[in-house]
Amino acid sequence: MEIFAYFDTGHEFPEEIVMAAGFSPVKILGNVHVGTAVADEYLFSYFCPFARGCLAEALGNAQNWVGIGFAHGCDATNRHFDVWKAHVGKTPFFWVNTPMKVDTTAKGFYGKELRRFIQTLNKQYQIEIKDEKLKDAIRLSNEAKSLMKQLASMRTEKDISNSDYFEMTRKAVQTPKESLVADLKAMLADWKSRDPFPAEKVPILLTGSDVTFVEWMELLDIADFRVVRDDLSLGERYFTATIPEMADPIEALVAYACSIPQPATRMPSDSRMEFLVKVLDETKIDAVVSQNMKFCEPYALDAVWSVAAIRQKGYDVIHLERDYTPATDRQLLTRLEAFKEIIQQKGGSRNA
């Protein structure tokens, strides 16, 4: 199946439409080991390194992709679309303008935008995306999301490393959905047989910028923190809800987009906080790790109030700024370990 790559700084891109078009949607995540040098020719080094990493990946691989989709994630992605169009080969580009809000006007706008996207794909590839195909794609997508939700819920009970969890979420956006479902089922059997949650690990909620490379999750493992809940797009935002199976699949996608937890790129921020509070209320966690990648402005803007709000709920929270590098960051490790020492000397959390 041909790959239709997409650049999405959150979980905004409607993968199901691409699946219904007969392509395999693959989220561009960049390659932190390759670096951003190729992209730095077109983007200054003080821009988001993740976005530069994605551009570097596109510059190297676009010839293997049937198309490149962009979803409006953070505002900077609007301008990235133009930069990519100017420099990334002849691969067809598509823009999906996702709304900032979730009110009635936004829903109407988004429905029209999704229909426009379908028409553009039909015209570009001389195909016809029918409702039935879209419904099939939604069913398949929902099967994967349900399995992911089951897997993620095991983090509180079983010995599931942060790296294992990351690998599951990465696969979800980079593997054809048919084989993904089989992989997730095998993973479920494996995770069920794992040892219980290790006593020495500190269960945490992870919030902030999307973590797009496994090494950062490994850093949390080294510091003995275990992510048992999160609100990341490459995480719970992706599978916390399924797409309603409605008569009109477009309306179903609109309803889905408006029902999932909102990221820091969307407004108002209340719904993002509501999700964090819900997570804190329903899961036993000892602390919250908030982080933003350097130059990731939406989360940096969000951090002060969100950290304060979490503290007000009585939780220990640390906020970290991290780099786009696979190298073990000793200073961040020191901060994390010192944070763990504080939590341990208190004898655990308010929930303990």
Partner 1 sequence: MRIYNNLKIWIISFGTKHVVKLFILAPSTFFEICEVVMLSVSLDIGSITTKIAVLDCKSLLGTDVSLTSYNVEKAWQDIFRKTLGRMCLKESVVDRIVSTGYGRSSVGIANKTITEIKCHAEGARFFLPTTRSVIDIGGQDSKFIRIGNDGNVMDFLMNDKCAAGTGRFLEVMARALELDIADFGKLSLLAKKPSPISSMCTVFAESEVISLISRGESRENIIAGIHESIANRMLSMVGGSGFVKPVVLTGGVAKNIGIRNALEKKLNIQIQVPDTAQVNGAIGAAILAQKI
Judged by the rule CB under 8 A, the positions of this chain that interact with partner 1 are 321, 323, 329-331, 334-335, 337-338, 341-342, 345-346
Nearer to partner 1, 182 or 338 (CB): 338
CB of 46 vs partner 1, minimal distance in Å: 13
Pairing of strands 24-27, 202-208: unpaired
Nearer to partner 1, 191 or 339 (CB): 339
Nearer to partner 1, 190 or 341 (CB): 341
Q: Give me the phi and psi of 46, to 5 degrees please.
A: -90, 10
> If 0-12 CB within 10 Å is exposed, 13-18 middle and 19+ buried, where does residue 86 land?
exposed
User: What is the rounded CA–CA span in Å between residue 197 and residue 83?
Assistant: 46
∠ CA 347-348-351 to the nearest 5 degrees?
Answer: 130
CB of 346 vs partner 1, minimal distance in Å: 8
CB of 351 vs partner 1, minimal distance in Å: 20
By C-alpha distance, which of 233, 219, 222, 226 is closest to 204? Answer: 226
CB of 330 vs partner 1, minimal distance in Å: 5
Non-local (6+) Cβ contacts of 112 within 8 A are none
CB 141 within 8 A of CB 177: yes
Whether cis (ω within 30° of 0) applies to the bond prior to 268 is yes
CB of 331 vs partner 1, minimal distance in Å: 6
Nearer to partner 1, 178 or 323 (CB): 323
Q: Give me the phi and psi of 200, to 5 degrees please.
A: -80, -10
Nearer to partner 1, 230 or 302 (CB): 302
